[in-house]
Amino acid sequence: MSAVGRRAELIRILRGRKKDTIPNLANELGVHEETIRRDLLTLTVDEGYHINTKQGKGGGVEFYGHNNPHKGILSQEQIKVLTNLKQFVDCYHSGVIDGILNAFS
């Protein structure tokens, strides 16, 4: 899985659970804990997600959302299907698909 795909999956997981632990997320995604920490840093600093991490008992990773609540809701499969559909439509509809992908992936 690519870094982009892994981060998208990480957001999908956190959206559903709202809170988890780094070891659990690393195990579920099949990567090292440091990879999850770097991904969380990228997601907060570069992509604007509101994610809080806290060490110790009762700590973990808490997900508060994104400045765009619709960003990141498409799965990798949905993105792939929409991207593939573009080859079968006219320019107008291709632009609409691009808009969907930009707004929701």
pLDDT of residue 70: 67
Domains contained in the chain, number: 2
Residues 50-61 have pLDDT tens digits of 898 888 877 789
- Do residues 46 and 11 both lie within one domain? yes
- Do residues 28 and 58 both lie within one domain? yes
Residues 8-47 have pLDDT tens digits of 999 989 988 889 999 999 999 999 999 999 999 999 888 8
pLDDT of residue 78: 92
- Do residues 9 and 46 both lie within one domain? yes
Identify whether the C-beta of residue 61 lies closer than 8 Å to the C-beta of residue 25. yes
Residues 64-74 have pLDDT tens digits of 876 566 667 88
Report the SS3 class of residue 105: coil
pTM above 0.85, yes or no: no
**Cα–Cα distance measured from residue 58 to residue 21, given in angstroms and rounded to the nearest whole number:** 10
Q: Could you list the residue range(s) of the whole structural domain that residue 8 is in? A: 3-66
